[in-house]
Amino acid sequence: MKVRSLTVGYGHRTVIRDMHVNVPAERITCVLGPNGAGKSTLFKAISGLLPITSGSVVVDGVSIERFSSRELARKLAFLPQYPTAPEGLAVADLVARGRHPRQRWLKQWTSDDEEKVARALNLTGAGAFVGKDLDTLSGNQKRRVWISMVLAQDSGIMVFDEPTTHCDLSHQIEILDLMHRLTREAGKTIVLSIPDINLALRYADHLVIIGNGRLVAEGDPAEVITPEILTDTFHLTASVVADPATGGPMIVTTAPKHIRDRLQARADAAEKARKDSGEEQSERLKRATRAYEEAEAAEEAKLAAKEASRAQDAKQARETELEALGEKVKKASAKARQLHAKAAKFDAELEEIPADAPNRAELAAKADTARNDAADADGHTARLQAELAEAKELRDKADTRARTAREEAIKAQAWVDELTHRTDTGTADDTAGETGTRQTEPENPDSDRTGDGSATDTR
């Protein structure tokens, strides 16, 4: 698969710009990038779920725009990060849906379909859940069932958006080991994203790094991953070392700057306090503690304000995506209704003409084509509706994050204000205390002062 000069987005908002990516056959290609870099948008575009503004995605030498939905599904399977299913759907029924692109009106469920479904369930270890409803499973178990559905589709290219989500570490490794075997033993081409950079480096044959909707680098992981890319793209300070298990690259993060500064501030304060003594030592230590608390609170308030701004931007982006998807669902539903009406019209005409009519075969063929088109339209509408439901869920999560971030920013600023007030009040109290001490110093009324200022007792 090749991506050439790809530009896509949602409505008037462009997310991916002029991207070129090569996906080697029968290997694992891992796409890495920070949140909001455009990974999910890229996956939707190469899977035919998002209209291409310009450029192309080529599979087996043919642009995906030339394939029908069913034809593309035979060549490429896609599992989004947050798939949805109807309430009460059985595990076996969900996995069986992976065989839909392989079926026709005159060729429904076969023994081959049964074999593919059984093999998919066995590979993922989800066979134990057959007979249960999807709603009753844990997040990890659901993820294995969804992966089974993609495997049952038996497409040559499989695209997974964070397939290890909701899985503990041992199951993450099981899933990635399975995908490695599929490339080597079954000749599958895997494209995926996972949030753990070190796991990606361990399993990827080909690495693609994107940032702000553009390609940053691609190629062999050992050649692509560098401390400079980690800093510039992921805003991460880290070293690249050899993985002791594989010999490949592995990253080791260093302590963030604010933690290093905090430790240094504590060390400086301790050293200064050690050199001082008595009341002076105590006073300097209190002042240093106040300064440290104020600096730390100010830094946390600044970070909270930035997070609140980022969360608000993410919420707005989700709103825009949701609006665009709503329009697509309306159009797809309307098109499906038109196709069903067309198929019904042909069926009605067939019932009215004699069985030996010369144009009956031609009319019957048109009716079959119309029904197939209507079924494809229904499938496309269902996928869009599922994507709309996913977008609503993501929008709600973004809204929750934005509200939480605003509350945290307000709390952080309130803490800064309180510390500043404490410092101002404490300084005033210290000054007043020193003045009071001078003014209330006791005098001996029975003593006289000599001319040189010394006191003599006259009693």
pLDDT reported for residue 447: 44
Asked which of 5-9, 162-166, 178-182 is least confident by mean pLDDT, the reply is 162-166
Q: Determine the Cα–Cα distance for residues 374 and 356; give it in Å rounded to an integer.
A: 27
pLDDT at residue 148, rounded to an integer? 95
Judged by average pLDDT, the poorest of 1-5, 106-110, 148-152, 358-362 is 106-110
Residue 339: which pLDDT band, with cuts at 50, 70 and 90?
confident
pLDDT confidence bin for 438, thresholds 50/70/90: very low
- Which is nearest to 321 in space by CA: 401, 398, 381, 215? 398
What mean pLDDT comes out for the span 172-195? Answer: 94
Of 449 and 174, the structure prediction assigns the larger pLDDT to: 174
Q: What domains, with CATH codes, occur in the chain?
A: 2-225 (3.40.50.300), 259-429 (1.10.287.1490)
Res. 231: pLDDT tops 70: yes
DSSP 136: G
Our measurement of the distance from residue 55's CA atom to the centroid of its chain's CA atoms, rounded to an integer in Å, reads 25
Q: Is the model more confident about 399 or about 39?
A: 39
pLDDT digits (tens, 9 = 90+) for 375-411: 888 888 888 888 888 888 888 888 888 888 888 889 8
The better pLDDT of the pair 427, 111 is held by 111
- Distance, in Å, from the CA atom of 314 to the CA atom of 161, rounded to the nearest integer, reads 19
Q: Answer yes or no: are the C-beta atoms of 120 and 95 closer than 8 Å.
A: yes
If pLDDT is split at 50, 70 and 90, which confidence band does 40 have? Answer: very high
What is the per-residue pLDDT for 290? 77
| Most confidently predicted of 212-216, 321-325, 431-435 | 212-216
DSSP string, 207-243: EEEEETTEEEEEE-HHHH--HHHHHHHH---EEEEE-
Q: Are 49 and 383 in contact (CB under 8 A)?
A: yes
What's the pLDDT band for 347 if we cut at 50, 70, 90? Answer: confident
Alpha carbon distances (Å) from 202 to 29, 297, 442: 12, 39, 79
CB within 8 Å of 243: residues ≥ 6 apart: 198, 201, 202, 249, 250
pLDDT of residue 279: 67
Taking 70 as the threshold, does the pLDDT of residue 45 lie above it? yes
436 vs 282, higher pLDDT:
282
CA geometry: angle at 91 spanning 87 and 97, to 5°? 90
pLDDT band at 441 (very low <50, low <70, confident <90, very high): very low
Tell me the pairing of strands 455-457 and 447-449: antiparallel
Q: Whole-angstrom Cα distance, residue 343 to residue 281?
A: 91
The average pLDDT across 192-219 equals: 96
